A and B are shown apart, each in its own frame.
Chain A
Amino acid sequence: MLTELSGWAIAAVAALGVLSVAAGVAVFVVDSMARATFALLASFLAVAGILLALDLVYLAVVTALMMTIEMAIMAVFMIMFMMNPAGLMPMTMVHNAKGSAVTGAGAFVVLVAGIWTIDWPTRNTSRPADSTRQLGEAIMGSHMLVMLVIGIGLFATILAGTVLATARGRYDRLGPGLDAQRPDDPVAGGLPR
């Protein structure tokens, strides 16, 4: 696979890989929640850059898109729910240092051993003109049923999680008989109701 890439692409993959790892390390070194969040985002963006260098444009931009939104929302919630609300006091992302170090080192060894010992398949056909279409067909083509079931399962999980987490249910909003004309909400939503 590497031999198909141009020299520039290999250099870019190597540089972005180092950047990604460095940013990943920074997550656990910096002492501010905002810096940790954005170091993690930088690490993800470097991975997106690697995908771009491998000419997997759709995967690259979707990675950048999803991870950015995720990190932005994470910044809101993590800083909002911290004991020092603005997150301006020094903090650390490291918990259970010894246990996580052992787990991390173990996972690293397993993955590296796997990468170097597995007999990876080689490509026999020529590269497709549109890798986005190929990816879509590979994911959705014969696995549509699986994807639908997983999708419904995930959606049910989201709904169930929200129902369990919400403090105010419909009886709080609409009264014991669920017959109130207007829901009793602490913040008006903007629609006239």
Chain B
Amino acid sequence: MPEQTLAEVWGLVPAVLGIVAVGLVLGVVVAAVDRVVVLGASRAAVEPIRFGARLLVEQRRTMLAPDRLLWRIGCVAVPTLALLSLAVVPVGGRTLWSTSADLVWFNAMEALLWAAVWLVGWGPNAVHALTGGYRFLAQGLAYELPLMFALITAGLAAGSLRTTDILATQENLWFVVTMPVAFVVFVASAAAFAFWGPFAAPAGPDIAGGVASELSGVDRLLVEAGRAVFLGASAAMAAALFLGGDSGPWLPGPLWHLLKTLAVVAALVWVGRRMPVLRPDRTVEVGWMVLVPLTLLQALVVAVLVLNGFYA
């Protein structure tokens, strides 16, 4: 039974604008929490906006013989894909549009982000940026499969790839109780797709900032905003897929979802900023030898529970 989507309830244009606004607010929240964790509470909410405004008026640097077309495409694609991934995340109990393959949509946007970040590294025709781009792709090989298994585990329990169906199945019990491994892998992979926190090696100081090293002005604003928006969207998705979304006593549903999203953001930033950067050559083996079997076992446990009618 497909419920009404935001586009059907509000009309297409207001719904799209609403989702973009939600995405930008989530991005600012992520950046503000990050500032609080790194620098303390002073002017945390203002700082990201001030930084953004400064980048907006900053003059753009360029390199010798850049591949300008692909560079611009990459820079614009990062925030666009972050916002597009938000289209299937329930906001106020409804998604912007509802398809029979919401989870695959979300995953496809992450994969496109993968390609876009490589373009950001390729475009400027500079060695550090290119190294960072390749590092990002290599690192992605370690967590792409575990992420897919983690996503599919939530879909398996609900018997549907539609996020609103997954929400409805969690009315009695949050999925995080029966699938903690999938939850942790999903949140960690979200950080990895934003090459953030312990997964920031593609933008590491040892390669002078890597993929982001040649970005300036609007380009840097777009990429940094895209990373923050994607982290916020992933936190909202994690709250919806594993933490019961808008279910909870006393308070109205959307407020519950907001609180859970904020909790995931706070936990993600707080833990992520306290972990050392992982070397990509050391994460690949861990991904394939530890995480893939773990997430497969997790899926097996959930599959047995589904066969026993646990989630029905």
List chain A positions with a Cβ less than 8 A from chain B.
32, 34-35, 38, 41, 57-58, 61-62, 64-65, 68-69, 71-73, 75-76, 86, 88, 130-133, 187-191
Q: A34-B122, A69-B111 are in contact. Are A76 and B101 (CB under 8 A)?
A: no
Q: Which of B276-291 contact A (CB under 8 A)?
A: 279, 281-286, 289-290
Tell me how many residue pairs across A and B have CB atoms closer than 8 Å. Answer: 89
* 26 A-B residue pairings within 8 Å (CB atoms): A34-B122, A35-B69, A57-B100, A57-B101, A57-B105, A58-B161, A61-B104, A61-B108, A62-B108, A64-B108, A68-B108, A68-B111, A68-B112, A68-B115, A69-B144, A72-B111, A72-B118, A73-B137, A75-B137, A76-B137, A88-B125, A132-B101, A188-B282, A190-B285, A191-B285, A191-B286
Bound: A39/B108 CA distance, A: 18
We find that the number of chain B residues with CB closer than 8 angstroms to chain A is: 36
* Chain B residues closer than 8 Å to A64, beta-carbon distance: 108, 111-112
**Cβ of B104 and Cβ of A130 under 8 Å apart?**
no
Q: List residues of chain A with CB within 8 A of the CB of B141.
A: 73
Asked if residues B285 and A189 are in contact (CB atoms below 8 Å), the reply is yes
User: Which of B104, B115, B285 touches A38 (beta carbons < 8 Å)?
Assistant: B115
* Inter-subunit contact B100/A76 (CB<8 Å): no
List residues of chain B with CB under 8 Å of any chain A CB. 67, 69-70, 73, 99-101, 104-105, 107-108, 111-112, 114-115, 118-119, 122, 125, 130, 134, 137-138, 140-141, 144, 161, 279, 281-286, 289-290
Shortest Cβ distance from A139 into chain B, in angstroms? 15
Main SS at interface, chain A: helix
Tell me the bound Cα distance from A35 to B101 in angstroms.
30
Instruction: Evaluate whether A76 and B134 lie within 8 angstroms (CB atoms) in the complex, with A34-B70, A38-B70, A189-B284 already known.
Output: yes
Task: Contact check, A35 vs B144: say whether CB atoms are below 8 A apart.
Answer: no
In the complex the two chains form, is B101's CB within 8 Å of A75's CB? no
| Secondary structure of the B contact surface, majority rule | helix
Indicate if the CB atoms of B119 and A38 lie closer than 8 Å.
yes
- Structural contact, A68 and B101, CB atoms closer than 8 A: no
